[in-house]
């Protein structure tokens, strides 16, 4: 008894390659790109100093529970951008020093319901908290500090269990964006109050 011959339709190579490329396009489309958090739409704060120095005292630990280094826009980078977009030296003497003191974000695991009951619940599984703080000081040409202002802001958000990486990154981005709006308003208010004599 002979073997039965089965006709297997040939799949064109070009169609196979096109399918592979389409799959690649779909996976890249699924990766969101986040814009920079900027403050260029706001008026710059002109300082009566010859130059502005930047000091970054914050050192990202890169260790749990810290997660700020995983954010699409880390708070530290947003603080650096704030300085670039909002402060400008317009004087002929003296120095302003902008210091980043804190730009941390941490993750805390939250208790969830286990067992059969938990299987039918969608609960917050992690809580993310971000904190930023910075200081702006004005020194005269002799190096004496004449005035300073500080600002800090903190914000926390929770995310449900089973969240995808994209959903997590979207939350991180929004957390940083909202946090920096609070920081911006607070710092501008304090600068006008405590450094008003040095604004041009």
Domain boundaries, the chain: 46-198
If you average pLDDT over residues 58-66, what whole number do you get? 95
Query: Omega of the bond prior to 103 within 30 degrees of 0, cis?
Result: no
Q: Would the pLDDT of 46 be above 80?
A: yes
When the pLDDT of each residue in the chain is averaged and rounded to a whole number, the result is: 86
If you average pLDDT over residues 124-128, what whole number do you get? 93
pLDDT value at position 124? Answer: 82
Least-confidence region, from 74-78, 93-97, 102-106, 162-166 = 162-166
If you average pLDDT over residues 110-120, what whole number do you get? 63
- CATH classification code of 46-198: 3.30.160
Q: Is the Cα dihedral 57, 94, 183, 83 positive or negative?
A: negative
What confidence tens digit (pLDDT) does each residue in 130-169 have? 999 999 999 999 999 999 999 999 999 999 988 999 999 9
Q: Percent of the chain beyond pLDDT 90?
A: 76
């Amino acid at each position: 008894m002979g073997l039965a011959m089965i006709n297997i339709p040939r799949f064109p190579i070009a169609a196979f390659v096109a399918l592979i490329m389409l799959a690649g396009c779909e996976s890249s489309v699924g990766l969101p790109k986040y814009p920079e958090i900027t403050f260029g739409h706001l008026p710059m704060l002109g300082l009566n100093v010859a130059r502005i120095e930047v000091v970054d005292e914050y050192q990202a630990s890169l260790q749990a529970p810290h997660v700020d280094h995983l954010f699409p826009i880390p708070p530290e980078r947003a603080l650096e951008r704030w300085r670039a977009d909002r402060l400008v030296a317009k004087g002929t003497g003296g120095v302003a020093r902008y210091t980043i003191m804190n730009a941390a974000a941490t993750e805390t695991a939250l208790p969830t319901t286990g067992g059969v009951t938990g299987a039918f619940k969608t609960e917050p599984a992690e809580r993310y908290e971000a904190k930023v703080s910075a200081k702006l000081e004005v020194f005269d040409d002799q190096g004496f500090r004449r005035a300073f202002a500080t600002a800090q802001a903190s914000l926390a958000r929770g995310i449900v269990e089973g969240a995808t990486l994209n959903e997590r990154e979207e939350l991180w981005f929004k957390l940083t964006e909202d946090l920096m709006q609070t920081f911006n308003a607070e710092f501008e208010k304090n600068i006008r109050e405590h450094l008003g004599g040095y604004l041009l």
